[in-house]
Each structure stands twice: as structure tokens, then as C-alpha cells.
Structure 1
Amino acid sequence: MTLPMRLTAVTLDCADPEALAAFYQRATGFELHPASDRDFAGLTREDGFFIGFQRVDDYRAPGWPGRSVPQQAHFDFAVDDIAEAEAVLLELGATAPEHQPGGARWRVLLDPAGHPFCLARK
């Protein structure tokens, strides 16, 4: 049996919700949710999809690619030009880990809170 479910939101744990929301807002162009505050911030896409960022005391960033602190989840973004998108995201505060398992097919970056995310060609 398949339920008629539609994914409407994803929420990430972090130490600074406002800062992480600002990073992803600049990266995606999503709108900052008006109810965002110190403990929970959110971004909304025009179709209603929501990305939330919630403050967690003693937050520990994922240890990617190691598993000492599992990555738990990650985003995949489709871009026209991987190298160009990577350069922009690095300027916005992302970092590029040495381990890159995707070769030329995709690129792994880490957001300012340490969550891995991937860039792949559209």
C-alpha cells in the first residue's frame, strides 16, 4: 500500500540556526521564514517546501567521511556547472573535504555547521 504523502519539510540540527539559514538562503534563494528566531530558523521555496534549522545544545558536526558522528542526512543539489557552484558556495562559507568519492560526477561540500551536501550536474 502506498500512502499519498508529499514531503513538505526537512529540518537539520545545528548550533546556530540563524547563521545556517543565512548560508542556505544565499545558496538557494529560498525566502527566510518570518517566524525564524534564535532557536529555529526556516527557509521556504515558492512551492511551499520548507528547510528548517533547529538549535541543539552541545551540537556535534558530522564527521564526514568518518562515522564518529554520523552524517544523519544530506542535501543533493542539481547545478549547471559544478566548479562554478562550488566556487560560489566556498565564498559563502562552505568547505571542501579532501575525500571526494564522486570523481567528476559530483562534489561533496560541508555547510558551515559541518553537514555534507552534494553538487551534481542537472
Structure 2
Amino acid sequence: MPLQMKLSAITLDCPDPPALAAFYQQATGLAPHPRSDADFAALTCENGLTIGFQRVDDHQAPHWPTQTVPQQSHLDFTVDDLDEAEARLLELGAGKPDHQPNEDSRRVLTDPAGHPFCVIRS
């Protein structure tokens, strides 16, 4: 019988936790965790899941789609309108790699620390 576990947090390494938390807060509307600071910041989802951002000195941003520096993580977000979501995320500081597999149903973007993430049509 499997152990009963509930996912409670996902944490991304980055050079500037408050800045990366602010990017994702603006993108998702999630609430900041009250114990965020310069070395660890977090956002809390309604279901209790926490997305954390921890400072790592000499952080190397992932290179996507190559794996010269591995992805380290990959988040997916569903959206109603891909073009609208992409435009807003780019305004907030996301990047858009040239390689876009299945661009009609998903867009691969990178957050300000270089982590790839997808927005997927719901």
C-alpha cells in the first residue's frame, strides 16, 4: 500500500527569490507567503500548495531546449487564451525561446531566472 503523501511545495533555485516570486505573483495572482525574505520567498495556492523560490549563489539559468545546463524544473499553467497569456507574461519579464513544439496548443516561456515553463490552452 503506498504511503499517503500530499504534495505541499515546489521550490525553484534562483539568484533573486523576491524578484522571481514577484514575477509569478503578477502572473498568477497567488498570495505571497508571510515568511518570505531575501533568501527564500514563496507563494501560496488556494489548495495549500506552496511555490517556493530559494537563493542559490552562482545560479546558472537552464538552457532550453538543449541540456547544456539542465532545466532543473518545469511548471505548466493552463490558460484560456494562449496569445493573451503569452503577451502578458512577456510584459512581466518572461522570455520566449525560439524552439516552440506544438505552438498551437502550448507555449514554452522562460521566467526571469531562466526556468522554462509552459502555458497550455485549457
TM-score using structure 1 length: 0.97
Deviation (angstroms), 1:114: 0.2
> Structure 1: how far apart are the matches of 2:97 and 2:121?
19
Question: Structure 1 residue 67 and structure 2 residue 67: aligned?
Answer: yes
Large movers: runs of 4+ above 4 Å: none
Report the secondary structure of 1:95's partner residue: coil
1:20 match: 20
Q: List alignment gaps of at least 5 residues for structure 1.
A: none
| Percent identity (aligned) | 66
1:119 match: 119
> Structure 1: how far apart are the matches of 2:2 and 2:102?
32
Residues paired across the two proteins, number? 122
1:105 match: 105
Deviation (angstroms), 1:45: 1.3
Deviation (angstroms), 1:43: 0.4
Q: List alignment gaps of at least 5 residues for structure 2.
A: none
Deviation (angstroms), 1:103: 2.8
CA deviations 1:62-118 (Å, max 9, x no partner) are 011111100021100000001100000000000111000123121100000000000
TM-score using structure 2 length: 0.97
> Structure 1: how far apart are the matches of 2:66 and 2:81?
28
